[in-house]
Amino acid sequence: MGIEYKKALAIFSENVSVEDAEGLLDWLVKNPKGKINLAACTHIHAANLQVLMVVKPTIAAESKDENLQKWLNWALAN
Amino acid sequence: MNALLEQFLSESRDFLQGIGEKLMQLEDEPDNTEFMVELFRFVHTLKGNSGLFDFPEMTRVLHASEDLMDSVRNGRVNYSQTLADQLLEAMDFVSVLIDEIEGTGELSNQYTNTSAALAKALRALIIDTNLGSDSEAVAILLESSGALEESVEFNVSELELPEATAMQSYRDLKIGNSVIWLMYTPDPECFFKGEDPFFLVRQIPEVIWSSITTSNNAPLAEMDAYDCKLTFQVITSADISELHELFRYVPEEVRFEIITQANDLISPMGEHNNEPVYDDFIEQAQTLLAKNNTEGLRQLTSTMLELSSPALWCSSALRWLLLILELDETNGALHSALLESLHTFSLTIPIIESVVSDEKLLAENDTVHVETVTNAKIDEPTESNSVHLSKEEQARVNAIIHSQKEILNLPNTNNAWLVGRLKAVALTLKGCCQALHKNEALENLDEALNDALAQSSSEPLLVWLETYSKDFESLVEETVETAEITTPAQITNDEVIQETQKPIALKATESEANTEKLDASPEIKFNRRSEDASAAASKTLKVDQEKIDRLMNLIGEMVVAKNALPYLANRAETVFGVRELSREIKAQYAVINRVAEEMQDTIMQVRMMPVSFIFQRFPRMVRDISRKLGKEVHLVLEGETTEADKNIIEALADPLIHIVRNSLDHGLESPEVRAAAGKPAEGKLLIRASQESDRVLIEIIDDGKGIDPDVIKNKAYEKGLIDETTLERISDQDAVNLVFAAGFSTADVISDLSGRGVGMDVVRSAVEKVNGTVGIESQTGKGTRLFLSLPLSMAVTNVMIIESNKQIFGVPMDMVVETVRVPFNQIRNIKQKQTTVLRGRIVPLLSLNDLLAQNVEQVANEDKEFATLIVRVHGENVGILVDDFRETVDIILKPMVGILGGLSGYSGAALLGDGSVLMVLNPRELI
């Protein structure tokens, strides 16, 4: 559960919890070109959101959850 | 409402009472640390309790109170009058909340703001007296509270909303929805508190726009993933109350602003172009606008829009123009301003109050209400100088004036009240004057008031009222006149303003007195409300048990007195020969009987208690004991809501504890033994209560090793409880029942838990004392089932009256199996004992006279049959020979006291309807 890390891709599961934030940050620091796959994701904890906002990795696949994607667009806009 | 909540509410009232009392005592002895500590304890407990429920408003205030009390207790803050006031205020608030919860079962979100304000006021006290200290926490506290205070003037136009968002907000505003901007800055530590701000924000309904930013600029390597530096901004058309509800846990981290000025939202954006292509268009448009041809203007604008590139600033402005044309047709000035802006690329919006939306919001939210009221008052003089009132409004003004007159005409008996009265009247009149723009009257009013105060009489104010009352009354005509003078175009505009402002102005007058007081001291007063409410709300009544007992005794006597009526009826008929009277007495008896029975029933209900009263101590006890014994036990409680009389429940407590201990100690095995026996390591202990007709059945079932009958037999034989013949003959079930025998214990070592040989024997006698029975079933290796059967209530006992040796006795009906008449010739003597065969079973017969040591033969009837009462004692049927049977009656059984108390053959005595005493036998002891 949480996030599945491939070589250069982090695949977010349905719900990414607060515990995953630290791992995500570490991974992004080690893999600056790592991409994020949000397709299956329906909610990420605010801590993960903050990591994504600060690191601004490439989003390989947007979330299929329209509501989440709408919010992510707002968050990752700038 | 669940039982836990009910208990919380009732306890909380007690705590509040206690807190109030302690505060009062502290007023007298501010240095008494004992009171202080106790006070802290009360507040602390109350806070802890409130945390069990979902009442953040209550917990927040209590938490702040607790912190304050903690500081006081530790001497960091000095106890003061203001502190006591603030605490009492907070407690009043809590009491209001409790009333609300009691009434509705939940807490509405209307208290969120008040709660936050109170908590802040309380915390401010901690800081105030502590300013000099170097405590870091204080500094942080100060900072955060300050940040919230001096929130920057909010302006929508500075948000730079995307055009689509702004347009949608504008549309929502125009159609009457409220549009709210909120900024949510979660606590940096919030991730550690299990909060998910993003989740919370995603719950906001009707979101139009949002912006999420983070102020986290640290280099990636140093970034702390769990330091929340997010800020959420959201524009929503949701209801403000919904938002308050959503953010009720974090009110201090959210800022709400209600967008009222729709025009602020109009902000075209895009690239500036230099081509002057628009000049023609603007000219044309202005002409159409002057002619009031909106339709033409709309078409022209649409065409122009199609011709321009959508990214241009001008296109944006045109899109806005279209929207405004659609929603706000009459606002020519605004249209013109937008057209003008096409020249300059900057929009100056003419200042036009958007009154309609103001009023809508006013209806929705009280806090806004106050603000709008003030605005309206300031605006009034500039907007219009004459006032138009509808007939209704005029009537209201008249009513206000009239009541002021009445007040002024009150006899002047108490000087202490006069000053306040005069001031109140003056304030009300002042409000009226302001609302109605009677400036002249207003000036004179102050003089009149000063005169009145100087003279301590209401005369000057009355004179003033006489002088100006005509002014107030003649307003209706004026309205008509002014309306006629104004031009038709203005009328529409004016009317809108008048319509909306009149009610506001009137409200302002009515609430004038209150608002002014509030301005002077911004504290929130709950005293009155809470006093009003508590009188009506407190539904539970704590009564001394003695009083209930007394009531029950009285009802018992009532039952006895009532029972005398049939005797009386009988006498009326047989002795005095008045049959009519006898019948009437009987009819009357039926009525009294019904009422008495109902009374008895009700008082029984009062005494009923759920078994959870004793059950609730088991989880802890089982946990402690099983730890001590190194056993794993899973405790299951069932039927906790089963109710029984308080005495029964109380009598049950000790035996049950005993049984549970026994089960844990002897019944359930240690995990290793269980595993070896192929059972799950965790033993199961089930305690179940249920109701069976008029009895409560309590079962204690464990899946332990059970009772081995052979071990019991041998032990009993060793201890001399049974002789050798019994040892050989006794059945397994009977052997198991031996555990109830006095002095029996299987444990070789006496532990602090059990093993003294008084266990089950004590249980049995305790249960039997309240007319209960206890039984045990066991299967070796599989487990044990112990069951207690107890009467629901011991107040009324149904007994059967029997006659023996010319005396009458009662036998509890629940022991009587049946009554038979045994013919003399069917009684056989086995050894020295009489027996008979009843339905194929041998029943031992005992003569009651023998049992009572009366040397008289039982009397048989004419057919040589003996009246035999078959009773069940210790699971066996025994026949008791008596002389005759009588009726059954309900009696209030009084246990024997004093010297007679030692006679165990009798369970008590009762009064019969004819005044005679009935002795009730206890066959268990007799036999």
pLDDT number for residue B587: 92
B605 plus B615 within the same structural domain: no
Question: Does an H or E element contain B526, and which?
Answer: none
B598 plus B700 within the same structural domain: no
Interface test with B, best of A52, A74, A76 (most B CBs within 10 A): A74
Nearest CB among B202, B220, B229 relative to A67 is that of B202
Interface test with A, best of B165, B198, B216, B253 (most A CBs within 10 A): B198
Alpha helices in B29-135 (DSSP H): 33-50, 56-73, 81-104, 112-128
User: What is chain B's mean pLDDT, rounded?
Assistant: 75
Asked if the structure places residue B354 within a domain, the reply is no
Q: Is the pLDDT of residue A61 over 60?
A: yes
B505 plus B418 within the same structural domain: yes
Cα B293 to Cα B307, B320, B614, B665, B774: the distances in Å are: 22, 18, 84, 97, 97
String of DSSP letters for B200-268: HHHT-SSEEEEEEEE---S-GGG--TTS--EEEEEEE-S-HHHHHHHTTT-GGGEEEEEE--GGGG---
Nearest to B35 by CA among B93, B85, B92, B84: B84
Put simply, the answer to whether B209 touches A51 (Cβ < 8 Å) is no
Confidence of residue B503 (pLDDT cuts 50, 70, 90): very low
CB B234 within 8 A of CB B283: no
Nearest to B563 by CA among B271, B786, B238, B888: B888
For B213-241, what is the mean pLDDT? Answer: 81
For B822-844, what is the mean pLDDT? Answer: 86
Asked if the structure places residue B44 within a domain, the reply is yes
Minimal CA separation from B225 to chain A, in Å: 6
Alpha helices in B308-390 (DSSP H): 313-327, 332-344, 355-364, 366-383
For B836-859, what is the mean pLDDT? Answer: 86
Q: Is the pLDDT of residue B374 over 90?
A: no
Q: Residue with structure tokens 């078994």? A: B611
Of the listed ranges B105-114, B421-430, B472-481, the least confidently predicted one is B472-481
Confidence of residue B873 (pLDDT cuts 50, 70, 90): confident
Chain B residues whose beta carbon lies within 8 Å of the beta carbon of residue A68: 202
Minimal CA separation from A14 to chain B, in Å: 14
Q: Containing domain of residue B659, as a range?
A: 611-791
Q: Is B231 on the interface with A (CB under 8 A)?
A: no
Confidence of residue B221 (pLDDT cuts 50, 70, 90): confident
Chain B residues whose beta carbon lies within 8 Å of the beta carbon of residue A41: none
pLDDT number for residue B709: 80
B204 plus B57 within the same structural domain: no
Q: What percent of chain B has pLDDT over 90?
A: 1
Nearest to B250 by CA among B194, B205, B178: B194
> Which CATH number belongs to the domain containing residue B133 in this structure?
1.20.120.160
Q: Residue with structure tokens 């919010």? A: A71
Q: Is the pLDDT of residue B868 over 80?
A: yes
pLDDT tens digits, B878-892: 999 898 888 888 777
For B291-295, what is the mean pLDDT? Answer: 75
Asked if the structure places residue B539 within a domain, the reply is no
For B40-49, what is the mean pLDDT? Answer: 84
Q: Residue with structure tokens 């106790």? A: B38
Question: Does an H or E element contain B290, and which?
Answer: helix B278-290
Q: Which letter does DSSP use for residue B193 in this model?
A: G
Interface test with A, best of B165, B196, B203 (most A CBs within 10 A): B196
Minimal CA separation from A21 to chain B, in Å: 6
B781 plus B864 within the same structural domain: no
For B413-425, what is the mean pLDDT? Answer: 74
For B408-425, what is the mean pLDDT? Answer: 74
Q: Is B186 on the interface with A (CB under 8 A)?
A: yes
Minimal CA separation from A46 to chain B, in Å: 5
Q: Is B538 on the interface with A (CB under 8 A)?
A: no
Q: Is B839 on the interface with A (CB under 8 A)?
A: no
Chain A residues whose beta carbon lies within 8 Å of the beta carbon of residue B197: 46
Question: B254-259 and B179-184: which strand pairing?
Answer: antiparallel
Of the listed ranges B144-153, B251-260, B888-897, the least confidently predicted one is B144-153
Look at residues B759, B791, B823 and tell me which one is the last residue of a structural domain.
B791
Complex ipTM, two decimals? 0.92
Minimal CA separation from B228 to chain A, in Å: 7
Nearest to B363 by CA among B239, B246, B265, B255: B239
Q: Is the pLDDT of residue B591 over 90?
A: yes
Q: Is the pLDDT of residue B383 over 60?
A: no
Beta bridge partners of B842: B837
Nearest CB among A21, A29, A43 relative to B199 is that of A43
pLDDT tens digits, B729-778: 878 877 777 777 766 665 544 444 444 444 677 788 888 777 788 888 88
B803 plus B747 within the same structural domain: no
B714 plus B781 within the same structural domain: yes
B161 plus B295 within the same structural domain: no
Q: How many domains does chain B have?
A: 7
Q: Is B209 on the interface with A (CB under 8 A)?
A: yes
Residues constituting chain A = 78
Q: Is the pLDDT of residue B382 over 50?
A: no
Nearest CB among A28, A68, A74 relative to B212 is that of A74
Nearest CB among A45, A46, A54 relative to B223 is that of A54
Q: What percent of chain A has pLDDT over 70?
A: 97
Minimal CA separation from B372 to chain A, in Å: 33
**3-class SS at B912?**
coil
pLDDT number for residue B429: 78
Of the listed ranges A40-49, B277-286, B680-689, B854-863, the least confidently predicted one is B277-286
For B826-849, what is the mean pLDDT? Answer: 86
**3-class SS at B744?**
coil
List of residues 6+ apart from B99 with CB closer than 8 A: B530, B533, B534, B537
B730 plus B666 within the same structural domain: yes
List of residues 6+ apart from B238 with CB closer than 8 A: B180, B204, B205, B206, B207
More confident site: B328 or B834: B834
Put simply, the answer to whether B230 touches A22 (Cβ < 8 Å) is no
Nearest to B656 by CA among B565, B786, B755, B534: B786
B637 plus B786 within the same structural domain: yes
For A14-28, what is the mean pLDDT? Answer: 87
Domain A3-65, second-level architecture? 2-Layer Sandwich (3.30)
Confidence of residue B209 (pLDDT cuts 50, 70, 90): confident
B738 plus B623 within the same structural domain: yes
Confidence of residue B75 (pLDDT cuts 50, 70, 90): confident
More confident site: B847 or B137: B847
Chain B residues whose beta carbon lies within 8 Å of the beta carbon of residue A43: 198-199, 202
> Which CATH number belongs to the domain containing residue B636 in this structure?
3.30.565.10
Confidence of residue B153 (pLDDT cuts 50, 70, 90): low
Q: Is the pLDDT of residue B20 over 90?
A: no
Put simply, the answer to whether B228 touches A46 (Cβ < 8 Å) is yes
CB A61 within 8 A of CB A39: yes
Interface test with A, best of B214, B222, B227, B231 (most A CBs within 10 A): B214
Q: What percent of chain B has pLDDT over 70?
A: 78
**3-class SS at A35?**
strand
B482 plus B601 within the same structural domain: no
Q: Which letter does DSSP use for residue B824 in this model?
A: G
Chain B residues whose beta carbon lies within 8 Å of the beta carbon of residue A77: 211
Look at residues B609, B625, B648 and tell me which one is the last residue of a structural domain.
B609
List of residues 6+ apart from B59 with CB closer than 8 A: B47, B50, B51
Nearest CB among A50, A55, A74 relative to B220 is that of A55
Q: Is the pLDDT of residue B180 over 50?
A: yes
Nearest CB among B197, B210, B221 relative to A46 is that of B197
Look at residues B264, B294, B329 and tell me which one is the last residue of a structural domain.
B264
Phi, psi of B611 (to 5 degrees): -70, -15
Put simply, the answer to whether B197 touches A74 (Cβ < 8 Å) is no
Q: Which range among B311-315, B592-596, B598-602 has the greatest average pLDDT?
A: B592-596
More confident site: B591 or B213: B591
Whole-angstrom Cα distance, residue B703 to residue B688?
A: 14
Taking an 8 Å Cβ-Cβ cutoff, which residues of chain A contact chain B? 18, 21-22, 24-25, 28-29, 43-47, 49-51, 53-55, 67-68, 71, 74-75, 77-78
Of the listed ranges B5-14, B478-487, B821-830, the least confidently predicted one is B478-487
Chain B residues whose beta carbon lies within 8 Å of the beta carbon of residue A28: 220
Minimal CA separation from A15 to chain B, in Å: 11
